[in-house]
Amino acid sequence: MTKKEKSIFRCQNCGFQSPQWIGKCPDCGGWDTLTPERQRPVKGAGGKLSSNYTRPVPMAAIEFEEEPRIQTGIGEFDRVLGGGIVPGTLVLIGGDPGIGKSTLMLQVLAMLSNAGKKTLYVSGEESIRQLKMRGKRLASETISMLVAAETDLDDILAMAEHEMPAAMVVDSIQTVYSPEIASTPGSVTQIREASMRLMTMAKKTGIPLFLVGHVTKGGAIAGPRIMEHMVDTVLYFEGDRSHVFRILRAVKNRFGSTNEIGVFEMKGQGLEEVPNPSAVFLSERPVNTPGSVVTASMEGTRPILVEIQGLASSSSFGTPRRTVLGLDPNRVALIAAVMEKRLGMNLSGLDIFMNVAGGVKVTEPAADLGVAIALASSFLDRPVPEGTTVLGEVGLTGEIRAVSHVEQRIKEAVKMGFTRCLVPANSLKQIPEIAGTRIDGVSSLKQIMALVF
């Protein structure tokens, strides 16, 4: 180590720097996460311009022609991206191990290759023989799809600039390293350097680049948060490995909506898109069974009907349990407290279990009324009338508040054969007459309980 170089200790979770080793990171609270790294000398803040200095130009003087998006042929994937792949975009996709990230990326490149476009798949975790085995199983073998097993950042960049593919995948970013940096692959410094140089290459060449990222135990993408700020789009592949359905969700998208989701089904031949998620999620719904109700959730521009299940049973322990899957546990606790106070239902001494069938996650307030009806149905042991769907937000005083996109939700319910919709009374003014269903407005929990039970 030269005299000008210094050794620092950097947290591998959040990037915190310390001149000496400490056991616990002051920023993120992680134990034994600081590792030594070499710090390159910082140049002085001189005022001289470099030879390749770029002068700023007026925005009005920039000539712009909108480039058409690249269609992958997988409708659910294009929907999440905002209508297709934007040339030169940098997309980061994360998810739990074994959820199907590599499978999805391999199928996307295969679809582009079948359309006559050259694609490049660079893997740092599998050999080319392993990629061949997986491609054969997924029927993703094409001549124009190139694969490589490489982790050296310089070689990956040279490979991309030489081949100039129509789309490229790096799986995963945590395995890529730069020989110029004296730290192990997967460290904060390596991930930041690799992300920055790959982003620069994508912007200069116009190659759409997909980066596959590992996730931590908390579900966040491993590595520094600056990586998510640099990329154009961040996608999360969600789902339980015990369920066949997978949900692709955009949490950041500079070229589209961040509320869109894509639904896929995992099969032996890979992932298959689900064009009508409502029919799939309701296919095994029980009939005339207490504790089950259907509500409409908006995911971007698409309404999806989901089944909310509730179970209130006597507790055998001193402290009742609250187990919630697919919903916000805080909102479920809030709704249970409102029902006990406003409706007189003694739920405080009961175990409460809530679930959204199919492994879907619903976080919007429009599902509040569905939670309340499912709990009441189980508590009273009375089923919800067949063909009834509910939606609305529940307030602390027991009032039912209006929600957005009511008309689209009702039309989706009518398409699935529901004949009665209970909606907030304030939303009736925005809803035209829709044939095939009866729309009732409700303003409080007491009113809807009288209508349903």
Burial category of 388 from C-beta neighbours within 10 Å (exposed 0-12, middle 13-18, buried 19 and up): buried
Q: Is 448 annotated as a binding residue?
A: no
| Count of C-beta atoms within a 10 Å radius of residue 356 | 22
CA 161 and chain centroid, separation: 31
Burial track 99-109 (b if 16+ CB lie within 10 A, e otherwise):
bbbbbbbbbbb
Q: Is 98 annotated as a binding residue?
A: yes
Are the C-beta atoms of 297 and 366 separated by less than 8 Å?
yes
Rg (CA), the chain: 26
Query: How many Å apart are CA 422 and CA 397, to the nearest integer?
Result: 19
Q: Is 96 annotated as a binding residue?
A: yes
Backbone φ, ψ for residue 75 (5° rounding): -60, -40
Which residues does residue 250 pair with via DSSP β-bridges, in sequence order? Answer: 235
Query: How many Å apart are CA 257 and CA 225, to the nearest integer?
Result: 21
Query: How many Å apart are CA 338 and CA 347, to the nearest integer?
Result: 10
Single-letter amino acid, residue 369? L
Residue of 310, 302, 448, 446 whose CA lies nearest to 388: 448
Q: Is 99 annotated as a binding residue?
A: yes
Q: Is 132 annotated as a binding residue?
A: no
**Strand pairing report for 90-95 and 233-238:** parallel
Are the C-beta atoms of 171 and 125 separated by less than 8 Å?
yes
Q: Is 95 annotated as a binding residue?
A: yes
Binding-site positions for ATP: 95-102
Binding-site positions: 95-102
